[in-house]
Amino acid sequence: MIQLDSQQTKARNWFESLRDRICTEFETIEREAGSDASFRYSPWNRDDDAEGNGGGGVQGLMKGRVFEKVGVNVSTVGGEFSGEFSKTIHGAGDDPRFFATGISLVAHMANPHVPAVHMNTRFLVTQKRWFGGGADLNPPLPYDEDTSDFHARLKLACDAHDAGHYERFKKWAEDYFWIPHRGVHRGVGGIFYDHLEGDFDSNFAFTQAVGEAFLDIYPKIVRRRMDTPFNEADRASQLNWRGRYAEFNLVYDRGTLFGLKTGGNIDAILMSLPPLATWD
């Protein structure tokens, strides 16, 4: 079993508590829609050894009336980066050992008028210690009101910690969630940050604020749109848009690559892929 220090334990515990509250809220939305859908939890483990390699996580998955497919995963792992991959990781240098804990969420919605969403926050330890993460909204059929409210809530979280965070991390999300071969953004943005190092307490507080902002605003947007009537053309637009989402996650997403390169659970890593998609 990997040994955690106080900072690693604090981060892991909070990611797990955020997971529990998000899943409870999403199940509540399903109840409001007349569904009894609930999360199914699947623990997974890596092989532990005396060198601190090992750990694991829990994959949470729900398929319901509102959430066609939503995954909320928490993992806590330690080990060594292999070969050339270690050179791509912040702070790895000539020491391939690492620790990582975090929460990752992707929701694909049944109603095309309800935006899909991604949220991730994480704490990594190499020869440096840093937080990363963010949240971004991915509507097949965008509404200006939803986009504005989502960004406003993230800006509120950012501004409480650093007046420069929002514009910097908003731009980072715009640059990151871009599909070069299509020449389009994956969605309507949000914030993305990485390598936030230095004062642990300050950076952890900001990361918590991002998670709380997501838990506050996204359920409100879901409830606003989940009963909107839709037709076959709306569904076709949604499935075609999902194809773009899948392309980004399989070709460009760093989190997908990190999970596969560090021996993570394949089902949990690829839970971000939509249940149905089309390529016309």
pLDDT higher than threshold 90 for residue 53: no
> What are the sequence ranges of the domains in the chain?
6-272
Calculate the average pLDDT of the chain. Answer: 92
Residue 226 predicted with pLDDT over 80: yes
pLDDT over 90, % of the chain: 79
> Mean pLDDT across the stretch 76-92?
75
The full DSSP string for the chain is -----HHHHHHHHHHHHHHHHHHHHHHHHHHHTT-----EEEEEEPPP-TTS-EEEEEEEEE--SSEEEEEEEEEEEEEE--GGGGGGSTTTTT--EEEEEEEEEEEEESSTTSPEEEEEEEEEESSSEEEEEEEEEE-SS--HHHHHHHHHHHHHHHHTT-TTHHHHHHHHHHHHSEETTTTEESSSEEEEEEEEES-HHHHHHHHHHHHHHHHHHHHHHHHHHTT----HHHHHHHHHHHHHHHHHHHHT-HHHHHHHHTT--HHHHGGGS-SS----
* pTM check: above 0.85: yes
CATH of domain 6-272: 3.40.1500.10
**Which pLDDT tens digit goes with each residue over 160-183?**
999 999 999 999 999 999 999 999
Which residue did the predictor score with more confidence, 265 or 274?
274
Residue of 90, 108, 113, 118 marked catalytic: 118
The question of whether 113 is a catalytic residue gets the answer no
Predicted confidence (pLDDT) per residue in 90-144, tens digit: 767 777 888 999 999 999 999 999 999 999 999 999 889 999 999 999 999 999 9
